[in-house]
Amino acid sequence: MNTKLALALLLLCCVTSGMAGTFTVTAPTTADNIKHKVAASVFLSRATFGPSTTTINDLAARMDAIGVKPALAEWIDQQMALPVCTDVTRVPNIETEIVNLPVCSHRDLAEKMEAVDVAFYSETNDKHERYPNQAWWHIALTADDQLRQRMAWALSQIFVATNTSVTNGLDQTGRGRWLGIAGYYDHMV
């Protein structure tokens, strides 16, 4: 008797649960949103030199809308579609103030940084070797094409070049040899 009652109750539960109907969820759940923010943060931390909260939220919103893999593929495509030439409009002058210098390459930026820093300008002064390094950091951290900058950095870790030369003189073009490493970075980008 108890088995028949238990079987009837089980059958009733199965039948009524199937009649509950289906419904669609229009808004993502909080748990999914948090997972997407974490996934966006991890991905962007690996693909850039440090994402902003806005960038993380934008990518997480795209993940909510179209899914994780399509959102990541879309972000990569958008990054690769950005122009290589960056418009760096605010360059810190090493010793004094902020100077407006639009440039399109590491080499150009390093030259302009040196030109405005007349206190250290000298072909024999080794202080000018800091400009390619500072130009690289400035562009890497402020450029819109973060994925390209990160890929160029990774390539520079594989294909290593030195920024020192036998002499501190001029190269064939009349430019300082210390600019060679900045040109190297430009080729990587």
Q: Band the pLDDT of 96: cuts 50, 70, 90.
A: very low
Burial (CB < 10 A; 0-12, 13-18, 19+), residue 80, is exposed
Taking the C-alpha atoms of residue 111 and residue 135, their distance in angstroms, rounded to an integer, is: 9
**Structural contact between residues 78 and 170, judged by C-beta atoms closer than 8 angstroms:** no
* pTM assigned to the model: 0.60
> Percentage of the chain with pLDDT > 70?
44
Taking the C-alpha atoms of residue 17 and residue 12, their distance in angstroms, rounded to an integer, is: 8
The per-residue pLDDT for 78 is 93
For the ranges 30-34, 129-133, 135-139, the maximum mean pLDDT occurs at 30-34
pLDDT tens readout for residues 84-94: 754 443 344 44
Task: Give the residue-averaged pLDDT of 157-167.
Answer: 67
pLDDT at 71 > cutoff 60 = yes
pLDDT at 101 > cutoff 80 = no
Task: Give the residue-averaged pLDDT of 60-79.
Answer: 92
Q: Which token pair is 39?
A: 């996934």
For the chain, the domains span 28-81, 91-188
Q: What is the DSSP string of 121-161?
A: --TT-GGGGHHHHHHHHHHHHH-S-HHHHHHHHHHHHHS--
Q: Which residue has the higher pLDDT, 127 or 31?
A: 31
The per-residue pLDDT for 89 is 39
The per-residue pLDDT for 155 is 84
Task: Give the residue-averaged pLDDT of 94-119.
Answer: 55
pLDDT at 130 > cutoff 50 = yes
Taking the C-alpha atoms of residue 27 and residue 24, their distance in angstroms, rounded to an integer, is: 9
Task: Give the residue-averaged pLDDT of 140-163.
Answer: 80
Q: Band the pLDDT of 171: cuts 50, 70, 90.
A: low
Q: From the CB of residue 147, how many other CB atoms can be counted at a distance below 10 Å?
A: 17
